[in-house]
Amino acid sequence: MRRRRRIALVGCCCACVTRATLATYSFSESLTHQLTKLVPDQAPLQGLHHTAAAALPQLSITINGNIPSLKQTNWKEQVSKRADGWQPYEDNGGTVVAVAGPDFVIIGADTRLSVNYNILSRKVTRIHGISGARTFIGTAGCWSDTQGLLKAMQGLVGDYEWQQQHSISTAALARLLSNVLYSRRSFPFYTHNIVAGLDREGAGAVYGYDPVGSFERVKVACVGGGRSLLQPIMDHLAGDQDSSLDRRKPLVSVSCDDALELVKEGFVAAAERDIAIGDEAEILVIDAQGVTRHRLALGTH
Amino acid sequence: MALAFGVGNNILDVGSCRAKGTGLGAEGFEAGGEPDSFSLPNVNNPAEFCRTNFKCGYGKDNEQAIKFAKGTTTLAFKFKGGIIVSVDSRSTMGPYIASGTVKKVIEINPYLLGTMAGGAADCSFWERNLGTQCRMYELRNKERISVAAASKLLANTMLQYRGYGLSMGTMVAGWDKTGPQLYYVDDDATRLHSHMFSVGSGSTYAYGVLDTYYKHDMTDEEAIDLGQRAIYHATHRDAYSGGINNVYLVKPTGWIKVAAVDVMELHDKYAAEKTEG
């Protein structure tokens, strides 16, 4: 069914024509061009370019003045026939750490965005404030899934705050995130999340998640690539696990400054031993007075 | 409310592929698309894709990008004084211990308990969903739901999602007007009724201890001790189990939490007994 057709000059830019002679790359370049034409107000779909080039067998499609309908190609059939299947995920690295104290909460993340051995950016922010309230979601893992997840969360939180006429509490946001993650149980967001904020009594609340929404309120949480390096250091901060029967909140008993020092030292140590951690660590301290941002240089190697 | 992702004529369009859930499935919110449905990957056989690429089993997800939190030993048994439910608290993602303080007994309502074994997110989500359904039953019928009915609701939900790779092995325990009841419900909708179950990677170790020392005629203290010992032995030998042993006792008035002891403390206690005795 797929015949090789030549790309016509009309309606194409010169760059497309010259590239058309290289059989292997012609489809992906023209596809990107077509997609940017279809959705001109979006940023160039760099991520999609890589996926398209990798995911689809080599095809040429004609333009002939018409924009080809993407429905002509049966994506499901293409994907099902590939030997290695469909690989929609990419691990873009990142490590997020959070500590809950009696009247503060600290959340920090590195700012390096990488894929395999390449660095895509040294300045991404992995800690996102949700609405105007002082609750933050820190996310590590696939960057495109992070953006999709946050878009969903911001929309839902906006709905909640409009309906309820007050800002969403940390506990409610934590539960909402869990449900959003589970809604994608059969096609998960490849994200490792932490929610950090103050609870209704002003104590620190930190929730750690798995990719499909299992969550738990903890004293310290580490997620992402560097968690095996950082979690043992943070466990030392947390002390022994509570095994008493009464339902006390999980909070560390050190001061905010000591906890912050340990988080900083943790990032410096982790950056020395993990190639995906580096550039900068962005650390937020949230307490009754407000949110303070600290930036810690980690070296660009 | 239309969202930017997952909508449109796009290779990554997941909007064209939907699984209709039960009415209370996706809690009515619209992340990823319509309410009351779960988005599916846009392939010919989504169930097979989920089963092969999002495996939840022990050791099976080591090579996967996405690892799920799981791992456990849970047990429950009926005796003359009620039901003992005893669990560990370790959660593993691949070989990494994600948490040592997971609450594996889910308090569905003041007289019904559910346990968590298998995928942590699956268990906590569907048991919370069960709690919603139990409450709706109470409001509609002006009486508490029976344990048999509650476990049946859960089993029916699992039947609907059979083949999608959910992983859940849970016990539903409670005291209703027929007395103390204990059911086991599985992710392939198996539902069994008996006086003793143990579920999870460490269940075989727990069964050894339970089967040897169980009698129907025990005092509450003896039953609690048996529950603790069984979990201790499972955590001692199973790498995927550990942490804190939480023990609940179900009585006619509802459940009470009776013990929360670190298994290392139990180790020291039983070691001391051996040298004394």
Average pLDDT over residues A34-62: 41
Six-digit token string for A216: 């738990």
Per DSSP, the three-state class of B11 is: coil
Measuring CA to CA, which residue among B5, B4, B31, B28 is closest to residue A156?
Answer: B31
User: What pLDDT does residue B234 have?
Assistant: 96
Chain B neighbors of A241, CB-CB under 8 A = 100-101, 243-244, 262
Kindly report, residue by residue over B34-82, the tens digit of the pLDDT.
445 677 777 778 788 777 777 766 666 666 767 776 668 999 999 999 9
Which carries the bigger pLDDT value, residue A81 or residue A54?
A: A81
Q: Is B11 on the interface with A (CB under 8 A)?
A: yes
- B44 and A180: CB-CB below 8 Å? no
CA distances (Å), B255 to each of A232, B84, B106, in order? 35, 9, 11
Q: Which of A183, A207, A219, A228 to mutate to test the interface with B (most CBs of B within 10 A)?
A: A183
Predicted confidence (pLDDT) at residue A131 exceeds the cutoff of 90: no
Q: Distance, in angstroms, between A186 CA and closest chain B CA?
A: 6
Q: Which CATH number is A95-297 given?
A: 3.60.20.10
* For residues B107-116, average pLDDT: 92
How many of the other CB atoms lie within 10 Å of CB of B151?
27
Cβ neighbour number for residue B212 with a 10 Å cutoff: 10
**Strand order through the sheet with B254-262:** B196-200, B73-79, B82-87, B244-251, B254-262
Residue of A294, A215, A165, A76 lying closest to B14 (CA atoms): A76
Of B72, B115, B170, B235, catalytic: B72
User: Which has more confidence, A273 or A83?
Assistant: A273
pLDDT at A8: 41
Structure confidence at residue A106 as a pLDDT band (50, 70, 90): very high
Residue A292 vs residue A62, higher pLDDT: A292
Residue B83: strand, helix, or coil: strand
pLDDT of residue A288: 92
Highest mean pLDDT among A41-55, A62-76, A193-207: A193-207
Token pair of B150, please?
Answer: 């509650």
Q: Is the pLDDT reported for residue A261 higher than 90?
A: yes
| Confidence tier at A59 by pLDDT (50, 70, 90) | very low
Within a domain: B163: yes
Per-residue pLDDT band at B158 (split at 50, 70, 90): very high
Q: What is the pLDDT of residue B12?
A: 37
Q: Which domain holds residue B82?
A: 73-276
One-character DSSP codes across A109-157: EE--EEETTEEEES----EEE-SSSS-EEEEEE-HHHHHHHHHHHHHHH
In sequence order, the 6+-apart residues with CB closer than 8 A to the CB of B80 are B216, B217, B218
Q: Which of B1, B66, B262 sits opposite A243 (nearest CB)?
A: B262
Can you read off the two tokens belonging to residue A243?
């095994």
Write down the pLDDT at residue A240.
Answer: 65
- Which chain B positions have a beta carbon within 8 Å of A57's beta carbon? none
Nearest chain A Cα distance for residue B123, angstroms: 9
Radius of gyration of chain B (CA): 20
Least confident of A13-22, A262-271, B109-118: A13-22
Mean pLDDT of B153-165: 93
Spans of all domains in chain A: 2-83, 95-297
Give B-chain residues touching A181 at CB under 8 angstroms.
121
A209: closest CA of chain B, how far (Å)? 9
Q: Can you tell me the distance from the alpha carbon of B271 to that of B276, in angstroms, rounded to the nearest whole number?
A: 9
- Interchain CB distance below 8 Å, B44 and A77: yes
Residue B54 in domain: no
**What is the pLDDT, as a whole number, of residue A266?**
94
Judge whether residue B5 has pLDDT over 50.
Answer: no
Q: What is the pLDDT of residue A180?
A: 96
Helix H, strand E, coil C: the string for B153-180 is HHHHHHHHCCCCCCCEEEEEEEEECCEE
Q: Give the chain A residue whose CA is nearest to the CA of B66.
A: A190
Q: Is A229 helix (H, G, I), strand (E, B) or coil?
A: helix
State whether residue B63 sits within 8 Å of chain A by CB.
no
Q: Which amino acid is at A211?
A: P
Task: Using pLDDT thresholds of 50, 70 and 90, give the confidence band for residue B22.
Answer: very low
Q: What is the mean pLDDT of chain A?
A: 79
Given an 8 Å threshold on Cβ–Cβ distance, is B68 in contact with A210? yes
Is a pLDDT exceeding 90 seen at residue A282?
A: yes
Domain total in chain B = 1
Whole-angstrom Cα distance, residue A56 to residue A86?
10
Please tell me the predicted confidence (pLDDT) of residue B51: 75
B27 within some domain = no
Whether residue B49 is contained in a domain is answered as no
Residue B256: pLDDT band (50, 70, 90) is very high
Instruction: Say if the Cβ atoms of B98 and A210 lie within 8 Å.
Output: yes
> Are B44 and A80 in contact, with CB atoms under 8 Å apart?
yes
Residue A80: which pLDDT band, with cuts at 50, 70 and 90?
Answer: low
DSSP string over A12-46: S-HHHHHHHTSHHHHHHHHHHHHHHHHSTTSPP-H
Query: What pLDDT, on a 0 to 100 scale, did the predictor assign at position A299?
Result: 87
Rounded Cα gap, residues A99 and B39, in angstroms: 33
Whether pLDDT at A48 is above 50: no
Cβ contacts of B268 on chain A, cutoff 8 Å: none
Q: Is residue B2 part of a domain?
A: no
Q: Which of A18-27, A77-86, B134-143, B255-264 has the lowest mean pLDDT?
A: A18-27
Q: How confident is the model at residue A54 (pLDDT cuts 50, 70, 90)?
A: very low
Q: Please check the confidence at residue B95 and state whether its pLDDT lies above 90.
A: no
Q: Which B residues 214-273 touch A at CB under 8 Å?
A: 243-244, 257, 259-262, 265
Q: What is the pLDDT of residues B211-226, one digit of tens each?
A: 999 999 999 999 999 9
Interface membership of B132 toward A (CB under 8 Å): no
Among A49-58, A84-93, B196-205, name the one with the lowest average pLDDT.
Answer: A49-58
Q: Are A151 and B125 a contacting pair at CB < 8 A? A: no
Separation of alpha carbons B86 and B104, rounded Å: 9
Whether the CB of B1 is below 8 Å from some CB of chain A: the reply is yes
Best residue in B27, B45, B48, B66 to probe A by mutation, most A CBs within 10 Å? B66
Asked if B212 and B227 touch (Cβ cutoff 8 Å), the reply is no
Query: For residue A207, what are the CA distances in angstroms to A32, A95, A97, A217, B11?
Result: 40, 15, 11, 4, 34
In angstroms, what separates the C-alpha of B179 from chain A's closest C-alpha? 27
Average of pLDDT values for A194-222? 95
Task: Choose from A80, A146, A243 for mutation: most chain B CBs within 10 A.
Answer: A243
| Stated pTM of the model | 0.77
Which CATH number characterizes residue B244's domain? 3.60.20.10
Query: Shortest CB distance from A156 goes to which of B31, B65, B67?
Result: B31
Phi, psi of B215 (to 5 degrees): -140, 150
- Is position B122 within any domain? yes
Tell me, rounded to whole angstroms, the distance of Cα A290 from its chain centroid: 25
In this prediction, residue B150 carries a pLDDT of 97
Distance between CA atoms of residues A139 and A129, nearest Å: 11
Per-residue model confidence (pLDDT) at position B42: 73
- The DSSP annotation for B235-257 comes to HHH-TT--SEEEEEEEETTEEEE
Which residues of chain B have a CB within 8 Å of the CB of A244?
Answer: 260
When mean pLDDT is compared over A43-47, B55-59, B88-92, the highest value belongs to: B88-92
Is the pLDDT at A284 greater than 80? The verdict is yes
B41: burial class by Cβ within 10 Å (0-12, 13-18, 19+)?
buried
d(CA A213, nearest CA chain B) in Å: 6
Query: Is B35 within a domain?
Result: no
Question: Under DSSP, is residue B97 helix (H, G, I), strand (E, B) or coil?
Answer: strand
Cβ contact B115:B170 at 8 Å: yes
B59: left (phi over 0), alpha (psi -120 to 50) or beta: left
Q: Is B212 a catalytic residue?
A: no
User: What confidence score (pLDDT) does residue B226 get?
Assistant: 97
